[in-house]
Amino acid sequence: MEFNVTAVEDMKAEDYILYKTSTILNFITIIITVIGFIGNILAYLTANSMNMVSSTTTYMKCLAVADITSATQDGIISLGLRYYGIFVEDYSVIVCQIFFYWSAITSVIANWIVMSFTADRMVATVYPIYYRQKVNAGTARKVVLAITIFQCLFFAWFFYGYELDENKCRYKASIPEYVITIWSWFWIITMYAGIPAVVISICNLVIIISIRRRKKIGSKQEDKTASTESSITKLLLAVSTSFLFFTTIVACSYGLYQSTTGPTESDKATRAFFVTMTEMNAVMNNSFNFFLYVITGTVFRKAFINMITCKKQ
């Protein structure tokens, strides 16, 4: 968000506070991105080192890659470079189109992988025998590939919908304003947040009910496989709960941004704040999984310790 320097100095106190807060949050988001980048690399390496060729480790590795690309796009490119006044998307038409296309598909793919991971855990919890016999790493790879192809095709129209207008990357002027508004709400509320949130909530509810039912009837599984599955399920519940929290804030912040209109510097300051909140929470959504894995996942934590101490799994 750009401001006229004189206008910034003439802002009302509350608007100036919003403007400065946005600037500070931008910087914090860049730091979170760097931390998340390192964390996701460690998550990938740890999952790769685990003595398990399964759908679980496949989803972990794919999610780590998706989180790295999404957080890098939103944190380093979108906010980091803009913090220093560099707007990459305004370089050329093709860069403009690729910029927003890549931003959309990376963020949505990461969320849909979390959704698939949650569904995977639900099947493992409710139908353990079927899961062990039928679900494997190949299954997860096929799901992730299908998600990637679908999202790439779904957002392909971005190569038609964006152009440079007065050296600024924007939607084409020929596209009606109401179409842009409907589309913006649609992909944020449904593709980014809504569909994954509904599926994840339902799967989590089924998982919790299934676990409670087993405890109620006194079902005890002491074997190593059951203990591993229980640890992974706890880990997934933490990740999916974190996802629901951050995506809810993203959707609300984006809604407030869209509802704030007007040409004044005060309006710009308000929009800048909500844009920053949207992108900051999107980055946090893609940056904290490694730390949740370590805190809640016994199996993952042991694998990580073994990896950094060079012990065999």
Count CB neighbours of 170 within 10 A. Answer: 17
Contact criterion met (CB below 8 Å) for 205 and 197: no
Residue 140 has pLDDT above 50, yes or no: yes
> What is the number of residues in the chain?
313
pLDDT at position 150, please?
93
Task: Please determine, for residue 70, whether its predicted confidence score (pLDDT) is greater than 70.
Answer: yes
For residue 115, the one-letter residue type is M
- Rounded to 10°, the helix 137-154/55-71 angle is 30
Mean pLDDT of all residues in 60-89: 79
Nearest to 65 by CA among 289, 308, 309, 249: 289
- Give the pLDDT confidence score for residue 235 in this predicted structure: 81
pLDDT of residue 189: 82
From 112-126, 129-143, 146-160, 174-188, the region with the lowest mean pLDDT: 174-188
The string of pLDDT tens digits covering residues 154-173 is 998 888 888 887 778 888 88
Closest C-alpha among 283, 309, 269 to residue 76: 283
Reduced to 3 states, what is the DSSP secondary structure of residue 37? helix
pLDDT at 224: 53
Tell whether pTM > 0.85: no
pLDDT of residue 8: 47
| 162-203 pLDDT tens trace | 888 777 888 888 888 888 888 878 888 888 888 999 999 999
pLDDT at 6: 40
Is pLDDT at 292 greater than 60 in this prediction?
yes
Lowest mean pLDDT among 16-30, 84-98, 127-141, 231-245: 16-30
Report how far apart, in Å, the C-alpha atoms of 36 and of each of 5, 50, 80, 215 are.
33, 21, 14, 36
Asked if 296 and 238 count as a contact pair (C-beta separation under 8 A), the reply is: yes
pLDDT mean over 232-254:
84
Checking if the pLDDT of 262 tops 70, the result is: no
Burial of 306 (0-12, 13-18, 19+ CB in 10 A): middle
What does the pLDDT average to over 249-257?
Answer: 80
pLDDT exceeds cutoff 80 at 100: yes
- What tokens appear for 184 in the block? 């913006």
Element (H, E) at 62: helix 55-71
SS3 labels along 110-167: HHHHHHHHHHHHHHHHHCHHHHHHHCCHHHHHHHHHHHHHHHHHHCCCHHHHEEEECC
Lookup: tokens for 153: 């095709």
Answer yes or no: is pLDDT of 1 > 50: no
Distance between CA atoms of residues 93 and 123, nearest Å: 45
Average pLDDT over residues 131-142: 88
Q: Are 103 and 136 in contact (CB under 8 A)?
A: no
What pLDDT, on the 0 to 100 scale, is given for residue 119? Answer: 92
Q: Which residue has the tokens 């990459």?
A: 88
Average pLDDT over residues 131-145: 89
Q: Please state the rounded mean pLDDT for residues 51-65.
A: 84
pLDDT at 312 over 80: no
Percent of the chain scoring above 70 in pLDDT = 83
